[in-house]
């Protein structure tokens, strides 16, 4: 638990503008060995089904997450059930993590290495360990602030009161190495009370992954909007959002039941409507834009960015995303299958395209996936000759 220094690894120089520049992946989902470089501030990835676009976004997000519980989220977002035996650590691996491995039958680890210009310069190794191990009860001083230390001590005391052999570590280890060469480890604990995920103690900036078909938390969006308002920075988001979705005349935040939600004012409604009630696509769009505005130097990953957005609004939504990414110096990596979205996105970019990259991902004759980078000008030229999706 906690962090371990790696001898001989010196931190790379940092830039005030964080950004993932390149990715190296081994043994993750359909990406047995994969490498891609030269990401831009704003990126759009196109390609056929099952070539690895979603897996690439997931790999980047896992490496940036710093938490061992994200495997459950990825499984849920893909619509897969999670089942395991309460007395078997190996079943935890099979139920949650096995499908992350390109070949789960071997002990070859997953490795995801990001090269970046800030906190994004990091890597993750996910190892399937042999056998199950009883969790050690050695008193290790926790790291972090005072609240974190109190919480860690309370959790450790609770674990230590269990009968010997009742709490085990599942045979899975997730280890992150940050931009300073510091290693953070996270394990999964299986106890009679249920499944617990060991905190790494690492404090990293937020990154976001928007899967194609997941519901968006209305409470989280309201919290982010409230944070912007407290910082007197909500107007940039609000103006960009209302410009993209002009059927809404105003946006506010208020309590609905026991939760805070964003409420939309639309002329035809008798009262203000919670944004998820008005439109799932509009609600997802607001969450993506809020993620870009939540902090500078953020990485926002969006699978099937056009999902839920009517084609006549796609150009304005694309323009809003471009504007938010640039104003907040955040990185945006999107995927799309839609010819309409691609056309609208290219039109929204216009001639100001120095920070934009177009990508095409494909497999040739069932071979390994690869990606080709295009400038906006090159991609437009290709479109004039045929379909570039």
Q: Are residues 305 and 261 in the same domain?
A: yes
pLDDT at 45: 97
Residue 133 in this model has a pLDDT that exceeds 80: no
For 66, how many CA atoms within 13 A lie in the half-sphere containing its CB?
A: 24
Spell out the residues 6+ positions from residue 303 whose beta carbon is closer than 8 angstroms to its own: 53, 54, 57, 209, 210, 211, 212, 334, 335
Residue 388, token pair as written in the block: 């570039």
Residue 150 confidence class, pLDDT cut points 50, 70, 90: low
Q: Are residues 61 and 169 in the same domain?
A: yes
End-to-end CA distance of the chain: 45
pLDDT at 134: 47
Mean pLDDT confidence for 129-136: 57
Q: Are residues 132 and 260 in the same domain?
A: no
In a domain, 379, yes or no: no
Mean pLDDT confidence for 258-263: 87
Residue 86 in this model has a pLDDT that exceeds 80: no
Q: What span, in angstroms and rounded, lies between the C-alpha atoms of 100 and 30?
A: 9
Distances (CA, A) of 85 to 51, 101, 122: 33, 20, 34
In a domain, 377, yes or no: no
Residue 290 in this model has a pLDDT that exceeds 90: yes
Percent of the chain surpassing pLDDT 90: 54
In a domain, 187, yes or no: yes
In a domain, 10, yes or no: yes
pLDDT at 85: 67
Domain that holds residue 285: 207-349
Residue recorded with tokens 């479109």: 383
Q: Are residues 233 and 169 in the same domain?
A: no
Q: Are residues 82 and 219 in the same domain?
A: no
Spell out the residues 6+ positions from residue 139 whose beta carbon is closer than 8 angstroms to its own: 156
In a domain, 147, yes or no: yes
Q: Are residues 33 and 178 in the same domain?
A: yes
Q: What is the pLDDT of residues 28-75, one digit of tens each?
A: 999 999 999 999 999 999 999 999 999 999 999 999 998 888 988 888
Q: Are residues 251 and 182 in the same domain?
A: no
Q: Which of 197, 218, 241 is a domain's end point?
A: 197
Mean pLDDT confidence for 188-198: 81
Q: What span, in angstroms and rounded, lies between the C-alpha atoms of 265 and 275?
A: 9
Residue 158 in this model has a pLDDT that exceeds 80: no
Query: pTM for the full model?
Result: 0.85
Q: What is the CA radius of gyration of the chain?
A: 22
Residue 335 in this model has a pLDDT that exceeds 90: yes
In a domain, 302, yes or no: yes
Strands 299-302 and 207-210: parallel
Residue 115 confidence class, pLDDT cut points 50, 70, 90: very high
In a domain, 102, yes or no: yes
Q: Are residues 7 and 132 in the same domain?
A: yes
Residue 207 in this model has a pLDDT that exceeds 80: yes
pLDDT at 118: 82
Q: Are 334 and 45 in contact (CB under 8 A)?
A: yes
Q: What span, in angstroms and rounded, lies between the C-alpha atoms of 68 and 214?
A: 20
Residue 132 in this model has a pLDDT that exceeds 90: no
Residue 17 in this model has a pLDDT that exceeds 80: no
Q: Are residues 145 and 262 in the same domain?
A: no
In a domain, 202, yes or no: no
Q: Are residues 332 and 220 in the same domain?
A: yes
Q: Are residues 257 and 185 in the same domain?
A: no
Q: Are residues 139 and 242 in the same domain?
A: no
Q: What is the pLDDT of residues 337-362, one digit of tens each?
A: 999 999 999 999 989 899 999 999 99
* Number of CB atoms found within 10 A of residue 172's CB: 22
pLDDT at 366: 83
pLDDT at 46: 96
Which stretch of 246-250, 336-340, 364-368, 369-373 has the lowest confidence by average pLDDT? 364-368
CA-wise closest residue to 121 among 36, 211, 181: 181
Domain count, the chain: 2
Q: Are 109 and 125 in contact (CB under 8 A)?
A: yes
What is the domain-level CATH number for residue 342? 3.40.50.300
């Amino acid at each position: 638990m906690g962090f371990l220094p790696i001898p001989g690894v010196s931190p790379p120089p940092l830039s005030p503008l964080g950004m993932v520049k390149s990715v190296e992946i081994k043994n993750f989902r359909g990406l047995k060995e994969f490498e891609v470089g030269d990401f831009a501030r704003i990126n759009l990835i196109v390609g056929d089904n099952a070539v690895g676009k979603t897996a690439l976004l997931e790999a980047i997000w896992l490496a940036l997450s710093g938490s061992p519980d994200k495997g459950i989220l990825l499984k849920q977002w893909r619509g897969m059930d999670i089942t395991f035996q309460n007395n078997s650590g190996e079943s935890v691996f099979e139920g949650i993590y096995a499908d992350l491995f390109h070949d789960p039958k071997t002990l070859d680890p997953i490795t995801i290495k990001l090269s970046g210009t800030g906190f994004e310069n990091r890597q993750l190794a996910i190892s399937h360990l042999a056998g199950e191990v009883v969790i050690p009860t050695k008193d290790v001083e926790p790291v972090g602030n005072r609240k974190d230390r109190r919480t860690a001590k309370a959790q450790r005391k609770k674990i230590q009161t269990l009968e010997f052999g009742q709490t085990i570590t599942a045979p899975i280890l997730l280890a992150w190495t940050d931009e300073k060469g510091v290693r953070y480890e996270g394990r999964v604990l299986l106890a009679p009370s249920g499944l617990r995920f060991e905190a790494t103690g690492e404090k990293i900036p937020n990154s976001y992954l928007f899967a194609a078909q997941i519901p968006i938390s209305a409470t989280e969006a309201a919290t982010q909007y409230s944070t912007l308002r407290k910082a007197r920075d909500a107007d940039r988001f609000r103006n960009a959002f209302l410009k993209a979705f002009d059927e809404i005349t105003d946006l506010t935040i208020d309590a609905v039941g026991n939760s805070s939600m964003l409420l939309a004012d639309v002329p035809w409604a008798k009262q203000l409507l919670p944004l998820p009630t008005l439109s799932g696509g509009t609600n997802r769009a607001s969450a993506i834009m809020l993620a870009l505005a939540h902090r500078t130097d953020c990485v926002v990953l969006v699978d099937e960015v056009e999902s839920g957005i009517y084609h006549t609004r796609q150009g304005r939504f694309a323009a809003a995303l471009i504007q938010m990414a640039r104003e907040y110096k955040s990185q945006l990596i999107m995927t799309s299958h839609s010819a309409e979205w691609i056309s609208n996105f290219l039109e929204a970019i216009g001639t100001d395209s120095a920070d934009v990259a177009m990508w095409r991902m494909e497999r040739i004759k069932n071979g390994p996936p690869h990606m080709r980078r295009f400038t906006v000008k090159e991609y437009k030229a290709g479109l004039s000759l045929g379909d570039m999706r």
